[in-house]
Amino acid sequence: MSKDIRIKKGLDIKLVGEAEKNTTDISLSSVYAVKPEDFHGIIPKLVAKEGAEVKAGDTLFYSKGDERILFPSPVSGKVVEVIRGARRKVLTVKIAADTTQVYKDFGTKNADIMSAEEVKCHLFTSGCWPFVKQRPYDVVASPNQAPKAIFISAYASAPLAADLDYTLAGKEAELQAAVTAISKLTEGKVHVSVAANSNSPLSGLKGIELHKVSGPHPSGNVSTQIAQIDPINKGEVVWVVNPQDLIVIGELFLTGKLNVTRTIALTGSQFSKPQYVTAIAGATVSDITANNLEDNNTRIISGNVLSGKEVKADEFLGYYDNQITAIPEGNDYEFFGWNKPIFNKISASRALTFSWLTPKKKYDLNTNTNGEHRAFVVTGSYEQVFPLDIYPMQLLKAFMYKDLDEMEALGGYEVAPEDFALTEFICVSKQPHQQIIREGLDLMREELG
């Protein structure tokens, strides 16, 4: 049975540099890295010291909060450097990869005959648990509270996002194995959302509740879908898994190997050939983007332009990311930029901005803020791009003045930072919405648990 979800509020940001549908295999990078900051809210305890030899799947560090949650090495090789920050906090674990990859063998499993506890243990020991994230708070799931449902969004609506129908094609067996396994972890349903007229490899899976999603971004955001299907109430938890991570879990069950090889979309106007490549999580960015980037004044983003992280060429692909975006930096002045008519930028208003005339046009946006940071002034604009039944500005303000009662009452359990990406994009006052939400959620997690 499928239930359709139609979103009206939102905004599709159309950018230049959509990835062309052919995939190149990127040769193995010499150095890979795992950064604990990719797993928000985890305090790492290092296991693999500098100089240690690891196989793909061996533990690098574990979570101080729950020692069962292990974080594996994506490749086999030697730990060459552990970068630490203030108070000796582990920032990056760098691994020099072997030329021939050796995988730790976790043994093939048949999820059909496994109990919930067995599945959980298998995910713990294999280092696959971090792929399971939870709402509220948008962090790695706490294994102690059973979720009321599990959500998988196989529709990526973010700007230039990798086409999941393409990157997941042919992986039905892995997806089915993974869904069978994780469905053991909840009493409730496993909700899978696909684009309205797609032939997603997920739509044929067994043991799921299928939803067809249509409408502008953020219709593909999992919060948007949760709100439509089964909203989170106080005290409830739902889990969220990315489809590309399901493949890793599926492959683990089918082959016994942890293989975090992904199909990654190289997108954005600064790529000379925007296309797909396969790479292993944590790969060096310059290896992935080699001979493909246009010029020097470029911002490279691991992820999409709304919620991704800025990375330098010598840094690494984010652990969860399946996209690298490159757009021009906007570090230049623009004469009378605040009052002249504008045709080459996107705007949600019509204040002498003319993107409403050309809804199909693809824009080449840069990283300029197009204005200075100000107090909240304009009202009513966020609501036009915010499909949740929440008052966005009121919630943001509550998050800023840190009134826990209000944060809870206004819907703080139902949101993730990425849900405020569009409001941040259109914000006339250039307020850092996602950061406000992230800090507020951390506070809620600390105080309310």
Partner 1 sequence: MGLKQNLHNLKEKYKGTKMAPAFNAIHTFLYLPNEVTHKGGTHIKAADDLKRTMNIVIMSLIPCLIFGMFNAGFQHYAAIDSSLRTDVLANFFTMDNLWIGIVKILPLVIVSYGIGLLVEFIFAVIKGHEVEEGYLVTGMLVPLIVPVDTPLWMLAVAVVFGVVIGKEVFGGTGMNILNPALTIRAFLFFAYPTWMSGDKVWVHDAVNRVGTPDAISGETILGSYAQNQEVVYSNWDMFMGFIPGSVGETSTLLILLGAAFLIFTKIGSWRIIVSTFLGAAVMGFIFNQVVAADIITESSKFYGLMNTVWWQHLLIGGLAFGAVFMATDPVTASQTNKGKWIYGFLIGFISIMIRVFNPAYPEGVFLAILLMNVFAPTIDHYVVQGNVKKRLKRTKVKTA
Interacting positions 210-239 with partner 1 (CB under 8 A): 231, 233-236
> Phi and psi of 76, rounded to 5°?
-95, 145
Q: Which is nearer to partner 1, 212 or 438 (CB)?
A: 438
From the list 365, 396, 407, 416, which residue makes contact with partner 1 (rule: CB under 8 A)?
365
Q: Which is nearer to partner 1, 342 or 443 (CB)?
A: 342
Q: Which is nearer to partner 1, 135 or 299 (CB)?
A: 299
- Sole window of 65-73, 94-102, 213-221, 344-352 interacting with partner 1 (rule: CB under 8 A): 344-352
- Quote the least distance from Cβ 353 to partner 1, whole Å: 5
- 347 scored as a contact of partner 1 (CB under 8 A): yes
Bridge partners of 267, per DSSP, are 325
> Phi and psi of 156, rounded to 5°?
-95, 115
Contact 246, 175 (CB under 8 A): yes
Is the backbone of residue 13 left (phi > 0), alpha (psi -120 to 50) or beta? Answer: beta
* Binders of partner 1 in range 280-319 (CB under 8 A): 299, 301, 305-310
* Binders of partner 1 in range 402-431 (CB under 8 A): 409-411, 421, 424-430
Could you give the CA distance from residue 421 to residue 436 in angstroms, rounded to a whole number? Answer: 11
From the list 371, 400, 402, 446, which residue makes contact with partner 1 (rule: CB under 8 A)?
371
Q: Which is nearer to partner 1, 64 or 234 (CB)?
A: 234
- Quote the least distance from Cβ 174 to partner 1, whole Å: 32
Q: Which is nearer to partner 1, 292 or 368 (CB)?
A: 368
Bridge partners of 70, per DSSP, are 62
For residue 258, what are its two tokens? Answer: 């942890």
CB count, 10 Å around CB of 298? 20
Could you give the CA distance from residue 72 to residue 57 in angstroms, rounded to a whole number? Answer: 5
- Quote the least distance from Cβ 29 to partner 1, whole Å: 24
Contact 414, 136 (CB under 8 A): yes
- Quote the least distance from Cβ 335 to partner 1, whole Å: 6
Q: Nearest CA to 264 among 329, 207, 227, 318?
A: 318
* Binders of partner 1 in range 324-343 (CB under 8 A): 325, 327, 329-339, 342
Q: Which is nearer to partner 1, 209 or 439 (CB)?
A: 439
Taking residues 430 to 449 in sequence order and writing x for each that binds partner 1 by CB under 8 A, - otherwise, the string is x-xxxx--x-----------
CB count, 10 Å around CB of 74? 30
For residue 330, what are its two tokens? Answer: 């906007």
Could you give the CA distance from residue 414 to residue 408 in angstroms, rounded to a whole number? Answer: 9
Q: Which is nearer to partner 1, 66 or 403 (CB)?
A: 403
Q: Nearest CA to 189 among 209, 204, 203, 205?
A: 209
- Sole window of 166-174, 198-206, 285-293, 377-385 interacting with partner 1 (rule: CB under 8 A): 377-385
Could you give the CA distance from residue 206 to residue 233 in angstroms, rounded to a whole number? Answer: 28
Could you give the CA distance from residue 358 to residue 339 in angstroms, rounded to a whole number? Answer: 20
The vertex-249 CA angle with 414 and 183, nearest 5°, equals 55
Could you give the CA distance from residue 6 to residue 25 in angstroms, rounded to a whole number? Answer: 37
**Total of residues contacting partner 1 (CB under 8 A):** 77
Contact 385, 422 (CB under 8 A): yes
* Binders of partner 1 in range 155-214 (CB under 8 A): none
Could you give the CA distance from residue 97 to residue 307 in angstroms, rounded to a whole number? Answer: 29
Q: Which is nearer to partner 1, 195 or 305 (CB)?
A: 305
Q: Which is nearer to partner 1, 350 or 402 (CB)?
A: 350
* Binders of partner 1 in range 4-33 (CB under 8 A): 13
* Binders of partner 1 in range 385-404 (CB under 8 A): 389-391, 393-394
Q: Which is nearer to partner 1, 128 or 415 (CB)?
A: 415
- Quote the least distance from Cβ 274 to partner 1, whole Å: 16
* Binders of partner 1 in range 73-102 (CB under 8 A): none
